[in-house]
Amino acid sequence: MYSKITGTGSYLPEKILTNQDLENMVDTSDDWIRTRTGITQRHIARDDQVASDLALYASQNAMKAAGISNKDIDLIIVATTTPDMIFPSTACILQNKLGIENCPAFDVQAVCSGFVYALATADMFVSSGKCRNALVVGTEIYSKIIDWNDRGTCVLFGDGAGAVILSQSNEPGILSTHLHASGSYSNVLSAPGSISGGKVQGDPYINMEGSTVFKFAVKVLEEVVHEAISQNNLEAADIDWLVPHQANIRIIQSTAKKLGIPMDKVVVAVDKHGNTSAASIPLALDIAVRDGRINPGQLVLLEGVGGGFTWGAVLMRW
């Protein structure tokens, strides 16, 4: 038995924050942001929106695309770094909002690799026959953990959600999954605050050593993509679509160049979304499926890297 993505969906909050808007908030410029990151705008959630609200719309879109109803879902995994609350999990809150009863529901925390981790986990449930239709979601509201006075980080991130339905299938589907982590890099990219005595202790905002993150990301993404391709006796030229984590156009271009994958086979959404962390891969995937780029039978490779550090890839036949 195999697992196969049978529907995708996404949701972006209405409010758009442009680079020009940011020029009025911090000492930055549209030119600096576009040249260094490729980002021109990002979406920002309303103050009263939480991660499960964004996830709800994305999930409904994915279920509709898969042609299934809430009664057909028997597993929910939500990847998020910005959960609604400490507990219960955002997956349980989403389950209730979707009107689903009794199926297992849990969150995965692997920061920007979260969706790849969640999809690899769902694959084990579905391909082993334990579940028929898993709802796998990446949803983030990074605008709530950004220091809007820190130009080094506030220009990079955005809010959004993406979702897929992973269903049992007689044909592949997911061909292989590849997950890695290295906790020794945990201080390079973090939101180090913790809760104690009913208050956030320490710095609640994102801290990042930008150039260290950049170099590490390019190195491990090349490695993990090679791992996925070689384990399946394929070559980079066989990949029809690379759907990378959307952190920075220069990371995406460097990875593609090192692998010899032309940019017209790479799905790019970072220009319009910024870095939406765990939501970025399913958001980009949904766009490329809906605009007709990704078609049945094609080889699609997802790859992501994020805080932890964590990184991974999922190779699939669409």
Ligand X SMILES: CC(C)(COP(=O)(O)OP(=O)(O)OC[C@H]1O[C@@H](n2cnc3c(N)ncnc32)[C@H](O)[C@@H]1OP(=O)(O)O)[C@@H](O)C(=O)NCCC(=O)NCCS
* Min CB(220)–ligand X separation in Å: 11
Closer to ligand X by Cβ: residue 66 or 251? 251
Residue sitting closest to ligand X (CB):
210
Distance from C-alpha of 150 to C-alpha of 156, rounded to nearest angstrom: 11
Closer to ligand X by Cβ: residue 249 or 316? 249
Residues known to be catalytic:
112, 245, 275
* Min CB(119)–ligand X separation in Å: 17
Closer to ligand X by Cβ: residue 37 or 89? 37
Tokens matching residue 12: 């972006």
Closer to ligand X by Cβ: residue 3 or 37? 37
The set of residues, in sequence order, having a beta carbon less than 8 Å from that of 222 and lying 6+ positions away, is: 255, 258, 259
Footprint on this chain of ligand X (rule: CB under 6 A): 28, 32-33, 36-37, 112, 151-152, 155, 208, 210-211, 213-214, 217, 247-248, 251, 275, 305-306
Are 262 and 96 in contact by the 8 Å Cβ rule? The answer is no
Round to the nearest angstrom and report the end-to-end CA distance of the chain: 16
Q: What is the dihedral of CA 244, 49, 23, 146, to 10 degrees?
A: -70
* Min CB(306)–ligand X separation in Å: 4
* Min CB(35)–ligand X separation in Å: 9
Distance from C-alpha of 280 to C-alpha of 299, rounded to nearest angstrom: 19
Tracing tokens 């156009």 back to the chain, one arrives at: 249
For residue 239, give Cα distances in angstroms to 24, 49, 261: 42, 37, 8
